[in-house]
Amino acid sequence: MNTPEEFNEYRSRMNEKILGQDNKVIKRIFNLDTNAYASGKVDVQTKEMIGLACSMVLRCDDCVRYHLGKCHELGMSREQVFEVFSIATLIGGTIVIPHLRRAAEYWDNLDNQ
Amino acid sequence: MNTPEEFNEYRSRMNEKILGQDNKVIKRIFNLDTNAYASGKVDVQTKEMIGLACSMVLRCDDCVRYHLGKCHELGMSREQVFEVFSIATLIGGTIVIPHLRRAAEYWDNLDNQ
Amino acid sequence: MNTPEEFNEYRSRMNEKILGQDNKVIKRIFNLDTNAYASGKVDVQTKEMIGLACSMVLRCDDCVRYHLGKCHELGMSREQVFEVFSIATLIGGTIVIPHLRRAAEYWDNLDNQ
Amino acid sequence: MNTPEEFNEYRSRMNEKILGQDNKVIKRIFNLDTNAYASGKVDVQTKEMIGLACSMVLRCDDCVRYHLGKCHELGMSREQVFEVFSIATLIGGTIVIPHLRRAAEYWDNLDNQ
Amino acid sequence: MNTPEEFNEYRSRMNEKILGQDNKVIKRIFNLDTNAYASGKVDVQTKEMIGLACSMVLRCDDCVRYHLGKCHELGMSREQVFEVFSIATLIGGTIVIPHLRRAAEYWDNLDNQ
Amino acid sequence: MNTPEEFNEYRSRMNEKILGQDNKVIKRIFNLDTNAYASGKVDVQTKEMIGLACSMVLRCDDCVRYHLGKCHELGMSREQVFEVFSIATLIGGTIVIPHLRRAAEYWDNLDNQ
């Protein structure tokens, strides 16, 4: 799951299956996910950094991968991403470090695509 | 670990090793696990749905798999299981979605056994 | 905050203030909360027990109070509620016990209204 | 603890007591906390929004209060703060709502200072 | 709840009420709690430090108070307790700091009894 | 990742990459990690048991593996390690059990090196 291609393929395939079930509450949560990160009084780049940091402190590798992909698309630099990592690791503690390792590896994989 | 056979085999093998260590506290916790889900003033099906939802909000894939196996044995429908998924995703937030993907995949694997 | 009156008054007052802000994402999350617990393939009483158990394992006193209020309205018995408590305490561990204490106290307060 | 004055007074008094104990690891963590939120490749306002969102998804009322105080000092608008709230509530789920209530109340208290 | 007397009184009163409900699973969890911290291959003082650190990283103030009370009874020094605090704060991150403040205050209250 | 060799190799390789980024906050957190577990008023063995138990209740497999490696190096017995496991499983609840399975397997792998 650590290459962007594998991650995105599995994510898309399973999202389709889940939405195909036609559960109204789940469908709306998925829709909200799109709305919440759209530009508003807070810009898209900041929202993606917020999403990335929250994913790290909650220690969700797949969520980290998703937001890293978005940050990469938006042209954020490695230095910026590592500053977000540093705040998340400080807030969440050393328990975040194993997720930081996988995040650093995934960022390289995004660069090497 | 995503097929029911692999999951159950590893689970049984490691439980046996753990119980073989003869630690009294651990053995009693394992016993309690059997008692708590037995029929009482709350029926078994409801208890398994509770176990499933708690496993999702606490984001434990193996616990989700275990309770999905039980729900499947008890004859619950896909629609019912997805309603439990929807409540858990709402309570636990979008951070639960990667676990929802793996849960949906595992439910299919249970169907295809 | 431990009497149902105080809890409900604060909850209603602050919900009104939050919804008054007119943030679309927050408003939709609040709406979903109503939909998710409505009767469907899983009945209302089971959904409230799921909500109660998830609130306990996630250790949110206010969420526990809210679902206890709903369970009380639906006519659930003290024995049923304590069975839900027992599963949640087993899943979530002894760290849940302080919340169990406050939950038991609140259930009495609901009875004594 | 819900007025900014009470919150800040207790926080300062206890921080002083803790640092007076002269535990090197704790002192360094407190220092890091200052460094991590300083301006760098990511600006101060963004870092405070990250701190606020992480505090909400981790459901720490005091951490939320602290970052709300900083956001207020930096001149952020109510609309911006509510957009951060909305992302945090979506990521963290409805379990975050009781903290959202207290956060909304505290923001008003900051305005009314 | 911040004086040892208030804390212990509420804890005892509510435990009695909970055990009076006669739910077998809950009663056994309460019994296990006594067994697990008894002297074994790991001594009582180490077990209480483990209980204290786990309570801090899981951010349960009442659990922290309980184990601080036990550590105080066992004659542990303020320096030792602060070393446990420092490990817990490092593992759990700055999100633990508000609990560290209340823990430091409670330790003083134990000293001033 | 379940053999000590694979785990240690990945850990060292990624730590090097992370530290190579030269983010001051992250570097200091890594340094603190070394200081916090050094001998002080609390001895090294106790600190490693604390680290192990906290890693289990926070359900971080890699953190558990790291501290199990340290406990093994320090000559702790299987009985001692299982007593730490038992406290962590009681505090953290049955949600910890899947991590207990992987921890028990890893301890055997350490023995079989």
pLDDT tens digits for range F50-89 = 999 999 999 999 999 999 999 999 999 999 999 999 999 9
pLDDT tens digits for range B12-29 = 999 999 999 999 999 999
Dihedral, CA atoms, E74, E76, E82, E85, nearest 10 degrees?
-30
Residue F68 CA neighbour count, 13 Å, CB half: 29
CB contacts < 8 Å between A and F, how many? 51
Sort out which chain F residues have CB atoms less than 8 A from E86's CB and list them. Answer: 36
pLDDT at residue E2 is higher than 90: no
Are C35 and A25 within 8 A, CB to CB? yes
Which residue in D has a C-alpha nearest to residue B95's C-alpha?
D91
Predicted pLDDT of residue A58: 98
In this complex, which chains have at least 3 CB pairs below 8 Å with chain E? A, B, C, D, F
- Let me know: does B109 contact B2? Beta carbons within 8 Å: yes
Sort out which chain E residues have CB atoms less than 8 A from D24's CB and list them. Answer: 86
CA distance to partner chain F, nearest, from residue D36 (Å): 6
Nearest to F90 among C57, C91, C93 (CB): C93
What's the rounded mean pLDDT across residues E7-11? 96
SS3 for D54-101 is HHHHCCCHHHHHHHHHHHHHCCCCHHHHHHHHHHHHHHHCHHHHHHHH
Nearest CA among F5, F6, F35, F31 for reference residue F18: F31
Nearest to C32 among A28, A35, A36 (CB): A28
For CA atoms C109, D2, D3, D9, give the dihedral sign.
positive
User: Which band of pLDDT confidence, cut at 50, 70 and 90, is reported for residue C1?
Assistant: low
Which residue in B has a C-alpha nearest to residue A66's C-alpha?
B98
Residue ranges of the alpha helices (H) in F3-43? 4-20, 24-36
Predicted pLDDT of residue A102: 97
Predicted pLDDT of residue E1: 62
Are C50 and B86 within 8 A, CB to CB? no
Q: Mutation test of the interface with chain D: which of A26, A41, A49, choosing the one with the most D Cβ atoms within 10 A? A: A41
Residues of B with CB under 8 A from a CB of E: 24-25, 28-29, 32, 35-36
CA distance to partner chain D, nearest, from residue B91 (Å): 5
pLDDT tens digits for range E60-103 = 999 999 999 999 999 999 999 999 999 999 999 999 999 999 99
Are B94 and D90 within 8 A, CB to CB? yes
Are C91 and B57 within 8 A, CB to CB? no
Tell me what percent of the residues of chain F surpass a pLDDT of 90: 96
What Å distances lie between residue D65 and D1, D61, D76, E56, CA to CA? 10, 6, 14, 20
Predicted pLDDT of residue F1: 61
Are A28 and C24 within 8 A, CB to CB? no
Q: Which tokens is F12 given? A: 């060292």
What's the rounded mean pLDDT across residues E45-68? 98
Are B10 and F94 within 8 A, CB to CB? no
Q: Mutation test of the interface with chain B: which of C41, C71, C81, choosing the one with the most B Cβ atoms within 10 A? A: C41
Sort out which chain F residues have CB atoms less than 8 A from A89's CB and list them. Answer: 25-26, 29
Residues of A with CB under 8 A from a CB of F: 59, 78-79, 82-83, 85-87, 89-90, 94-95, 97-98, 100-102, 104-105, 108
**In this predicted complex, what is the ipTM?**
0.96
CA distance to partner chain D, nearest, from residue E111 (Å): 14
What Å distances lie between residue F112 and A95, F3, F72, F107, F109, CA to CA? 27, 10, 12, 9, 5
Residues of A with CB under 8 A from a CB of D: 29, 32-33, 36-37, 40-42, 46-47, 49-51, 53-55, 57-58, 63, 77, 79-80, 83-84, 86-88, 90-92
Which residue in A has a C-alpha nearest to residue F26's C-alpha?
A86
Which residue in A has a C-alpha nearest to residue B78's C-alpha?
A21
Residues of C with CB under 8 A from a CB of A: 24-25, 28-29, 32, 35-36
In this complex, which chains have at least 3 CB pairs below 8 Å with chain C? A, B, D, E, F
Are F95 and B10 within 8 A, CB to CB? no
Sort out which chain A residues have CB atoms less than 8 A from F88's CB and list them. Answer: none
Tell me what percent of the residues of chain C surpass a pLDDT of 90: 96
What's the rounded mean pLDDT across residues B93-97? 98
Q: ∠C16-C18-C22 over CA atoms, to 5°?
A: 100
Dihedral, CA atoms, E32, E38, E43, E44, nearest 10 degrees?
100
Which residue in F has a C-alpha nearest to residue C94's C-alpha?
F91
Which residue in C has a C-alpha nearest to residue E54's C-alpha?
C95
Are D14 and E59 within 8 A, CB to CB? no
**DSSP assignment of E45-108, as one string?**
HHHHHHHHHHHHHTT-HHHHHHHHHHHHHTT--HHHHHHHHHHHHHHH-GGGHHHHHHHHHHHH
Q: Mutation test of the interface with chain E: which of A85, A95, A99, choosing the one with the most E Cβ atoms within 10 A? A: A95
Query: Phi/psi class of residue A36: alpha, beta or left (left: φ > 0; alpha: ψ in -120 to 50)?
Result: alpha
Sort out which chain C residues have CB atoms less than 8 A from F94's CB and list them. Answer: 90-91, 93
Q: State the average pLDDT for chain A.
A: 96
Instruction: Give the span between the Cα atoms of C15 and A83, in whole angstroms.
Output: 35
pLDDT tens digits for range C33-72 = 989 999 999 999 999 999 999 999 999 999 999 999 999 9
Sort out which chain F residues have CB atoms less than 8 A from E55's CB and list them. Answer: 91
User: Which band of pLDDT confidence, cut at 50, 70 and 90, is reported for residue A1?
Assistant: low
Nearest CA among A67, B41, B62 for reference residue C85: B41
Nearest to C25 among D78, D90, D95 (CB): D90
Which residue in F has a C-alpha nearest to residue D40's C-alpha?
F23
CB contacts < 8 Å between C and F, how many? 28
* Amino acid (1-letter code) at residue F60: C
pLDDT at residue F6 is higher than 80: yes
Q: State the average pLDDT for chain F.
A: 96
Sort out which chain E residues have CB atoms less than 8 A from A90's CB and list them. Answer: 93-94
Nearest CA among F96, F112, F99, F84 for reference residue F3: F112
pLDDT tens digits for range D23-66 = 999 999 999 998 999 999 999 999 999 999 999 999 999 999 99
